[in-house]
Amino acid sequence: MATTPAFLEELLAGNRRHVESLPDEYFAGVQTSQHPDVVAICCSDSRIPQEHMWGFDHPGAVFTPSNIGNQVWDEDEGERIVDGGLLYPIHHAGTNVAVVVGHTGCGAVTAAYQVATGDDLPGPQGVDKWVNMLVPVVKEALESGLIDREADEETVINQLVEYNVDHQTQFLREAENVPADVDIYGFVYDFQGVYGNEAGCAHLVNVNGEIDPESIEKLVPAEYETATESLLF
């Protein structure tokens, strides 16, 4: 009998623990359909717990597409279109809240910044496609006056992360196939203490196009005011 590779066995054992931990009827409400309250597009990064970051412990609450750089678009025959992972729950599952979630220290934004400032694409081709789509956003950001170009690279990258979240939310707000009654929010997930001392805090940086921190602060209960800080203002 062949020996099971160690990590494969770890995956199987982990799934077994998962199965045993589930309460009875855990999937009862979602076995035949789904109606997630929110679609949250995150960066494809193993450090971002896409459902747990919101405190959900039941299936069917969050539709979770992800890609390199939490980009809301894709390209089709040279045209930039809204990613199907975002559109599906909005058009077919009754979802009326869309969230863009960037994160501190984003490798995709870092790569796009390096390309925008003269370095080569990181490769391979499948990665380069998504980095290339971010490069114009980074170039626009660097010319916007919102980025402290004299700061250290870590600071610049994190400011670019926030700028990218704003840019992605704006694209959604202007897209014809995203209904006007869909609320669109932008967050930056901070697990590095960039915005403050609350590791794992999702900082609300965009509410339906509003990006001024003081204005956003007025939209949320006082207890969440520390989650409305910005690196751009």
For residue 110, what are its two tokens?
A: 């870092």
For residue 212, what are its two tokens?
A: 């001024």
Q: Using DSSP, how many helices (H) and how many strands (E) does the chain show?
A: 6, 8
52 labeled part of a ligand binding site: no
Q: Beta strands 97-103 and 38-43: pairing type?
A: parallel
| Rounded distance between C-alpha atoms, residue 130 and residue 133, angstroms | 5
* Euclidean distance between the first and the last CA atom of the chain, given in angstroms as a whole number: 62
Neighbouring C-beta atoms of residue 24, cutoff 10 Å: 5
Give Cβ neighbours of residue 78 (< 8 Å, ≥ 6 apart). none
201 labeled part of a ligand binding site: no
Annotated binding site: 43, 103, 106
Annotated binding site for Zn(2+): 43, 103, 106
